[in-house]
Amino acid sequence: NTILHLLAVANEAGVDFTMDDIDRLSRRVPCICKVAPNTKKYHIQDVNRAGGIMGIMEQLAEGGLVDTSVPRADGYTLAEAIDKYRITGATVSEEAKEIYSSAPGNRYNIVMGSQNAAYTSLDADRAGGCIRDIAHAYTQDGGLAILKGNIAENGCVVKTAGVDESIWKFSGKAKVFHSQDDACSGILNGDVEAGDVVVILYEGPKGGPGMQEMLYPTSYIKAKHLGKACALITDGRFSGGTSGLSIGHISPEAAAGGAIGLVKDGDRIEIDIPARRIHLQVTDSELALRRKQEEARGKAAFTPVRDRKVSKALKAYAALVSSADLGAVRLID
């Protein structure tokens, strides 16, 4: 989601910021914090106990990766805020202790702060704790990668922090679905097997319309114990809750005539995260023939085979929206 929103903000502001810039930054900035579902060891409350966002910013600052001179809305510079809230120094302020020792109460309530639960100690271990320093980062690459290839000419996104390194290189046969719902049915009914690449089409900004999050299919793949045996690629959206070899935001999307819409059942797809590559093992001439055949369908070309009611408002949105590589913004120039 961060990628999508940053691209949209940059587009609106007229700033030259693309998916290539995101990949460049991810290669430079290491992954220094992991929480579920990317690890079973830590959850969001553990991030707070380790110093929260300020703890993360402190380590990035020590690595020279952020500008700490920038002002904050509360009047402090980032450097001053880091000093105020740090838990790794010789002395820790009482305010920082109170904030970062806050713990879950393990029972439901509807009044914020009513449980007053607290940890008895803070996690200041930057070598093996929840938040790491640069030298002890979980990975020296960031948690995201931009892949490109003949079915994602403008790029697609994979959250490497949630992918087991054993499947950073993966090759499998395509199982094509024209909606998230159909994909869920196929996975639950056993149509998807180990070694398959689930391909969900027409769920992008234009094709959805609206770019739904593809959380259910990834959850069902895990439930079927296929998390390390299958991949999922889509022009739809993923969020921080996703894990496994899940590749989204494929651009151009199927509904915009993207080559992802030309994939057929049984096609072999190669994924190589270290090389930042995704490739459909089909010749250029075969892809050109498939495109010609699809375009011969006229107004029905690059449209899904499914029953979905779409409101007039969403139809208007679909007529104006860009693919995800531009942030799913409306093209009204």
6 in a domain, yes or no? no
Say if residue 306 is in the same domain as residue 161. yes
Say if residue 160 is in the same domain as residue 102. no
CA separation for the pair 189, 204 (Å, rounded): 25
Say if residue 313 is in the same domain as residue 197. yes
Q: What percent of the chain has pLDDT over 70?
A: 99
132 in a domain, yes or no? yes
Say if residue 218 is in the same domain as residue 195. yes
Note the pTM of the prediction, 2 decimals: 0.87
CA separation for the pair 44, 32 (Å, rounded): 14
13-19: average pLDDT = 94
Say if residue 191 is in the same domain as residue 314. yes
For position 240, what pLDDT does the model report?
Answer: 73
Cβ 20 vs Cβ 147: under 8 Å = no
Cβ 146 vs Cβ 155: under 8 Å = yes
Say if residue 126 is in the same domain as residue 163. no
Cβ 96 vs Cβ 87: under 8 Å = yes
For position 262, what pLDDT does the model report?
Answer: 98
1 in a domain, yes or no? no
Say if residue 295 is in the same domain as residue 198. yes
24 in a domain, yes or no? no
* Residue numbers annotated as active site: 239
Which of the four pLDDT bands, split at 50, 70 and 90, describes residue 113? Answer: low
DSSP state of 44: H
CA separation for the pair 151, 259 (Å, rounded): 5
Closest CA to 30 of 134, 130, 124, 125: 134
DSSP state of 147: E
288 in a domain, yes or no? yes
Of 74, 101, 136, the domain-final residue: 136
Strands (E), the chain: 145-149, 152-158, 169-177, 196-200, 231-234, 246-251, 268-272, 277-280
Q: Label residue 257 exposed, middle or buried (CB < 10 Å: 0-12, 13-18, 19+).
A: middle
pLDDT of residue 305 exceeding 70, the answer is yes
- Out of 111-120, 243-252, 265-274, 276-285, which region has the weakest mean confidence (pLDDT)? 111-120
267 in a domain, yes or no? yes
Closest CA to 19 of 28, 6, 34, 36: 6
88-97: average pLDDT = 93
For position 114, what pLDDT does the model report?
Answer: 74
- For 178-193, the pLDDT digits (tens) are 999 999 999 999 999 9
How many other C-beta atoms can be found within 10 angstroms of the C-beta atom of residue 198? 27
The whole-chain average pLDDT of the chain stands at 94
| Alpha helices in the chain, H assignment, sequence order | 2-13, 19-28, 44-49, 52-62, 78-85, 94-100, 180-188, 215-223, 284-295, 312-320
Give the number of domains in the chain.
2
Q: In which residue are the tokens 């969403």 written?
A: 314
Say if residue 284 is in the same domain as residue 199. yes
- For 149-180, the pLDDT digits (tens) are 999 999 999 999 889 999 999 999 999 999 99
For position 332, what pLDDT does the model report?
Answer: 83
13 in a domain, yes or no? no
For residue 189 the two structure tokens come to 């009914």
Say if residue 47 is in the same domain as residue 122. yes
Q: Are strands 152-158 and 145-149 parallel, antiparallel or unpaired?
A: antiparallel
Of 136, 158, 183, the domain-final residue: 136
Which of the four pLDDT bands, split at 50, 70 and 90, describes residue 111? Answer: confident
CA separation for the pair 333, 249 (Å, rounded): 23
Domain that holds residue 96: 32-136
Q: What percent of the chain has pLDDT over 90?
A: 84
For position 108, what pLDDT does the model report?
Answer: 77
68-84: average pLDDT = 97
Say if residue 216 is in the same domain as residue 297. yes
Closest CA to 277 of 202, 171, 205: 171
For residue 298 the two structure tokens come to 């006229």
Cα-only R_g, the chain = 22
332 in a domain, yes or no? no
The domain that holds 247 is classified in CATH as 3.50.30.80
Higher pLDDT, 286 or 115: 286
Say if residue 154 is in the same domain as residue 258. yes
pLDDT of residue 107 exceeding 80, the answer is no
Give the burial string for 182-196 (b: 16+ CB within 10 Å, else e). bbbebbeeeebeeeb
For position 162, what pLDDT does the model report?
Answer: 86
261-273: average pLDDT = 98
Of 92, 118, 136, the domain-final residue: 136
What DSSP line would sit under 189-220, residue for residue? TT---TTEEEEE-S-STTTTTS--B-HHHHHH
- For 132-143, the pLDDT digits (tens) are 999 999 999 888
Say if residue 50 is in the same domain as residue 91. yes
